[in-house]
Amino acid sequence: MSERGPERGSAAAIIVRLRKRNPCMTLKQIGDKVARSKERVRQILSRAGLPTRGLVQPKLRYECPGCGRLLRGPTSSCPTCRMGTFVCENCGNEFQRGVAVQRSLFKRGQKRLFCTKKCVGRFAGTHYGWAVHPPPTVPRLALACTSCGATVYRLPSSQRQREKEGCKRVFCSQRCRTDFTRSHWPKFPCESCGAQVQRRPSDQKERVRRGAKYCSLKCLGRSRRKKRLVFSCAFCGTRVLRSARDQKGRARRGLKHIFCSLKCRGRWWTEGKRGYAELRAGG
């Protein structure tokens, strides 16, 4: 490099120009722009008498234009200044709400101000509906509940519509309707104990299709125990009860002998093997 400095257009001249224009740039940032290493950039800057370290940028202080409060970023205003104070039209209490939120409510057609949904309902109940325009007084019919006999009041037009639809019975509540329907379900006898059981016809039809004809699991187990087959243990002769399904599965697997316990099966197997060994030794 000559005494008059680096030639214009060379890498050294570009490095010197970048340092003078951007004192905060690091050696790596300058080297990436001119495709040189950090050490080469440091050598060129030291020969030119320029600082090799970039200046540290001072932290900017952002202040709210409304209250002067320090902010974390360049926002327009702090959260406190973005809140507005309004008066509820129902209870008269002051409440705070975001100015942007209230502006969007006005754009959607909500011109009145309320602090809570409870105040909205109270204002609507006192200024709209039956509070302003009461319904005409129409004489109602006094009918008796089909289930409990309580008095039920119905409009004549409503009762005529129900009769057209085929609803001749009147109920005061859903519970009375359910009790009346259950009391008229057909009764079915249990095949085990003979007790009469009330069930919905559709449920009973499905249970009969699946073979369930009993009132409870206890009766079902009792019926299955009655249908068990009687066998005798092959070792000790004790009485053994087995279901036909279980016995059919054992016969399919080739198990011809029946035992009352694992102990009897083990002893039978041991003595049978011993007798076979003695037979072969004697033969």
Asked if residues 215 and 195 have their Cβ atoms less than 8 Å apart, the reply is yes
User: Encoding tokens for residue 232?
Assistant: 């005798």
Q: For 213-239, how does the pLDDT look when each residue is reduced to its tens digit (9 = 90+)?
A: 777 778 877 777 777 777 888 888 888
Q: Amino acid identity, residue 169?
A: R
pLDDT given for residue 119 in this prediction: 92
Residues 88-146: tens digit of each pLDDT:
999 989 888 888 888 888 888 888 899 999 999 889 888 887 667 776 677 888 888 88
For residues 160 and 154, the answer to whether their CB atoms sit within 8 Å is no
Angle at 121 between CA 118 and CA 126, to 5 degrees: 125
**Displacement of CA 80 from its chain's centroid (Å):** 37
DSSP H or E segment with residue 194: none
Indicate the average pLDDT of the chain.
Answer: 78
| Overall residue count recorded for the chain in this entry | 283
